Structure 1
Amino acid sequence: MSPNSWVIEMAAHKSRLQVRRSLSPHPHALGSDAFVRSPHAPVGNPVFEDIGTILSVLKASGLLPIYEQVSSFEVGPPTRTNEFYSFFVRGVVHALTIFNIYSLMTPNGAKLFISLRETDNVNQWIELLLCILTYTLTVFVCARNTKCIIQIMNEILKLDQEVLRQFGVALSNNCNFSIKFLLLIAACQAYIIFIRIHVLDGVITPTTYILIGFYAIQNGLTATYIVFASALLRIVCIRFQFVNRLLNGYSYAQLLGKSRRQLQSHMESFPEDSLFIYRTHNRLLRIYKSINECCSLIIVCFLGYSFYTVTTNWYNLFVQITNNKGVISSHIMQWCLAWLCLHTALLTLLSRSCGATTNEANITSQILARVYGKSKEFQNIIDKFLTKSIKQEVQFTAYGFFAIDNSTLFKIFSAVTTYLVILIQFKQLEDSKLEEQLQETN
């Protein structure tokens, strides 16, 4: 199936859609990127086709279950063999984590992250421990939420099956960005490994290679999971958009200028469509909340780690630029810019995905308030839907600590600026103590 396609399957649905288009500018005909008519598209509906590469990476790394494709609209639990494979991979991951923590305590491993200043040392060690904690927690949470992830996928597939059966429309995902981000993650991590190995002095032992490689894998897989969570939110957002466009077809603005006969013919399908919209909206809200429950603990840890990584790299850039010796290390500059590029892109993606989905979920009640409900029957349907919608406060949270939306990126960088000022003050204090010691020695 090509993305962004409509699939007209049954004659009854086709005639129904044609009648609607002849009566009014129905929301399906508004021309969204997500809903484009393509009569020759296949009937199959592989919803997760756009994120197939990321799913393969996460399944191979044990973060997602290797589920079975029962049909185009259903996935089943993993087989015993696949379940054992995921368990084995997670065991290897935890063993490598323990090995790397032990290796970091040795002089050979410590030189990877050690530098000249005490403040720099503390920052790098905290950043490294946050990376280990985030990835280890991601593995634990993913192992615990295996059934929940499969249930989320099946809920989305069943919803799409119902849309296809009732309206003859195959909803797309618009998740092609996932491949671009996967390439960005791989490129940044490969470049960071290259720089780290290039600046090392002396003989590089196999332990050092393992330490550097696994550190990059931890960062890469955690970032890939964030892209996966963002893709799930984008999929849900597209379906909220479909519901809102369907509902918007009955608004005053869309029906303005029509004759009484046209209005009557158009509104005949409102009771049936309103029932579908109400049921689908509630199902999407459940899926939305399930994604939040599955990913929120991972996301809050990633946000903490990402915040600290962005802060330390801005700090390292500041130290290089304000170096009194006038020597700027190009390797450190490239290292910092690679980290900043990666984490800024991921934070932007996550914030925009959460914000767009939350906005689409909350805008339904606003559209419903503009629906043309001349008869008492229609008005009663609208009032019941509005009463339920107003009581539902929808937001995507970081484990309940704060809401993630379009303003999250600004809040994070505001906090980065504050903490950066604190780090610079520590650096200046450390420099002044060093100068006093040199004066006393002289």
Structure 2
Amino acid sequence: MKHFCWIISMPPNKVKPSLIQRQHIGLNPFLRHTPISNPIFRDMQITLCVLKATGLLPIYEEVSKYEVGPPTKPNIFYSFFIRGIVQALTLFNLYNLLTPGSAQLFYSYSDTDNVNKWIEFLLCMLAHSATVTICGRNSKLFLKIINEILKVDEDVFDRFGTTLENKCGFSLKYIVGICVCQWYLMILRVLAVKDTLNVNSYVFIFIYAIQNGMATIFIVFTAALLRILKMRFAHINVTLKGYTYSHHRKLRRFVGRDRDIVTMDTFPDDSLFIYRMHNKLLRIYRSINDCCSLILVAYMGYAFYTITTTTYNLFVQITTQRLSFNVLQTCFVWLAMHTCVLALLSKSCGQATDEANGTSQVLARVHGVTKEHQNIVDKFLTKSIKQEVQFTAYGFFVIDNSTLFKIFSAVTTYLVILIQFKQLEDSKMDDDSS
């Protein structure tokens, strides 16, 4: 009686992949041959440079190909100095906002519009200050996250002889887009003020743009980290699919029937490696959530209010006779920037969460040929039931693919309230004039 054999895509030991395995690696979209150079975050190199230059990330030292070390004392002092400068500029902006001279920054047509803009300024300062403070407090934890990701990639390289892709090159495009938007918004705000701006107002507008940019770029960095985790969870799931019957049939057609095959005897060793790797990635996932939770609460609150007030300004422009092309441009730029960043964050969180929780679903389709194999699957599934993860904003709400829809649903509700305040204000003005 012949043993039932399955073709899989993983070598049982740290050896050079065979012909069949090399062919299967070509089919795996999450693997490619080892690049000549590291670092692992080569696709987001510019993002890391910007965050380190602004003090949001420590200026770490590269110890080896798969490890980064703590920053030197001069770099630590530089990060403290930059964080102190940006926080001082935030206090300066808050002072300017509370002085009578800030009235020239509010060019709206009603008190309701001016109050909304004033709250928006305050929320931006809060989001920026929270980002700077929490990043400074969690600088060691960020280094730990980077090292753990590098360690996962080192383990994959030792076992496969290849390195995982990151696919986070989008971060550079978003940074360029954010910088262009901020410069354009600065120009529009200066042109919108009819009176001559004083020096403090120019400084306020410039610092406000920096605050927006820094807070938004950090959200892009968070999305990039989640995309990196998504690729590694996806690699685990693709590897496990090599043990399913449907994938076995596809590989069998690919390599032919007369080729050498690897049996399910390798499953215990491979499943142990996958189990350890999955636990490491779950720890990294939770660490990122712990580092960014409060930042996400502050930024998403600010982004929600900005989208709401911007939509309200569009409504006012459309329904009144005082149509301003400058205001319309400002509204469309704000909506485009915040909507794109929130959509990126929601998509990255949703994909990473789906892949993390999808491992147990893939494993459930693995058919154990022997009782030993089935016991391994059962133990993994039993523990996976208790390890279902969610990416949350400090536990207030879950961030996933549906978050953007929920935000716009809340925007619609709050927009109705603002319109009612606007109508009450207009009716009061009509009564006073009559």
Q: How does 1:171-210 map to 2 (within 5 A)?
A: 171-210=164-203
Matched, 1:56 2:49: yes
Cα distance in 2, alignment partners of residues 199 and 400 from structure 1: 40
Which residue matches 1:18?
19
1:228 Cα deviation after fit: 0.2
Task: Tell me the equivalent position of 1:8.
Answer: none
User: C-alpha distance in 1, partners of 2:371/2:21?
Assistant: 23
Aligned AA (2:401): N
Identity in percent:
56
Q: CA deviation at 1:260?
A: 11
Q: Counterparts of 1:359-398 in structure 2 under 5 Å? A: 359-398=354-393
Give 2:206's match in structure 1, choosing from 203, 208, 213. Answer: 213
Deviation at 1:417, TM superposition (A): 0.4
| Residue 275 (1) aligns with residue 272 (2) | yes
Distance 1:261 1:386, change over 3 A: farther
Cα distance in 2, alignment partners of residues 203 and 386 from structure 1: 68
- Structure 2 residue aligned with 1:306: 303
Q: Deviations over 1:369-405 (max 9, x none)?
A: 1112111111111111111111112110010011100
| Rounded Cα–Cα distance in structure 1 between residues aligned with 2:183 and 2:18 | 51
Displacement of 1:19: 4.0
SS in structure 2 of the partner of residue 50 of structure 1: helix
- SS of equivalent to 1:405: coil
Q: Aligned pair in 2 of structure 1 residues 399, 262: CA closer, same or farther (>3 Å)?
A: farther
SS of residue paired to 2:419: helix
SS at match of 1:402: coil
Instruction: Note the C-alpha offset of 1:113.
Output: 2.5
Which residue of 27, 30, 45 maps to 1:30?
27
Distance of 1:418 and 1:112 partners within structure 2:
28
Query: Cα–Cα, structure 1 residues 12 and 149, in superposed 2: closer, same or farther, change >3 Å?
Result: closer
Which residue of the other structure, out of 217, 224, 241, is the alignment partner of 2:217?
Answer: 224
CA contact (8 A) 1:240 1:360 kept: yes
Q: Distance in 2 between matches of 1:286 and 1:271?
A: 23
Offset at residue 17 of structure 1 (A): 4.1
- The equivalent residue for 1:410 is 405
2:108 alignment partner, SS class: coil
2:314 aligns with 317
Contact 2:104 2:195 in 1 (8 A): no
Distance (whole Å) between structure 2 residues aligned to residue 154 and residue 329 of structure 1: 51
Residue 282 (structure 2) pairs with residue 285 (structure 1): yes
Query: How far is the alpha carbon of 1:268 from its aligned partner?
Result: 2.5
Deviations 1:207-245 (A, max 9, x none): 222110000000000000000000000000000011111
> Would you say the 8 A contact 1:320–1:328 is kept in 2?
yes
Aligned 8 A contact 2:14 2:158 in 1: no
Measured in 2, the distance between the counterparts of 1:229 and 1:270 equals 35
Does 2:163 match 1:170?
A: yes
Answer yes or no: is the 8 Å Cα contact 2:28–2:238 preserved in 1.
no
Bigger relative CO (Cα 8 Å, ≥ 6 apart): 2
* 1:118 aligned to which of 111, 115, 120: 111
Equivalents in 2 of 1:250, 1:29: separation in Å? 17
Q: CA deviation at 1:261?
A: 11
Conservation of the 8 A alpha-carbon contact between 1:45 and 1:170: no
User: Could you give the per-residue CA deviations for residues 175-227 of structure 1, whole angstroms, max 9, x where no partner exists?
Assistant: 11001100110111010001011122333222222110000000000000000
1:102 is displaced (CA, Å) by: 1.0
In the TM superposition, what are the counterparts of 1:41-120 in structure 2 within 5 Å? Answer: 41-42=35-36, 44-120=37-113
Aligned residues: 418
Aligned partner of residue 170 in structure 1, secondary structure: strand
CA–CA distance in structure 1, aligned partners of residues 158 and 335 of structure 2:
46
Q: C-alpha separation between the residues in 2 aligned to 1:405 and 1:383?
A: 28
Tell me, yes or no, if structure 1 residue 350 matches structure 2 residue 345.
yes
Amino acid at match of 1:90: R
Q: Aligned partner of 1:353: which letter?
A: S
Q: Which amino acid aligns with 2:215?
A: T
Match of 2:415 in 1: 420
Q: Which moved more, 1:108-117 or 1:76-85?
A: 108-117
Name stretches of at least 5 consecutive residues in structure 1 with no aligned partner. 1-10
Q: CA deviation at 1:262?
A: 8.5
1:21–1:63 distance in 2 versus 1, CA, 3 Å = closer
Q: Distance in 2 between matches of 1:207 and 1:180?
A: 32
* 1:106 to partner: Cα distance: 2.3
What does the per-residue CA deviation read over 1:55-111, in whole Å, with 9 as the maximum and x for residues that have no partner? Answer: 111111111111111111001111100000010111111111111111122232232
8 Å contact from structure 2 (residues 241, 362) kept in 1:
yes
RMSD: 1.9
What secondary structure does 1:246 align onto?
helix
Partner Cα separation in structure 2 for residue 241 and residue 393 of structure 1: 16
Alpha-carbon distance between aligned partners in 2 of 1:314 and 1:164, rounded to the nearest angstrom:
49
SS class of match (1:70): strand
For residues 119-145 of structure 1, what are the alpha-carbon distances to aligned partners after superposition, in whole Å with 9 as ceiling and x for unaligned?
111111111100000100111100110
Scaled by the length of structure 1, the TM-score of the pair is: 0.91
Residues 270-297 of structure 1, C-alpha deviations (whole Å, 9 max, x = no match): 1111011000000000000000000011
Structure 1 residues 187 and 264: CA distance shift in structure 2, 3 A: closer
CA distance in 2, matches of 1:137, 1:199: 30
User: TM-score, normalising length from structure 2?
Assistant: 0.92
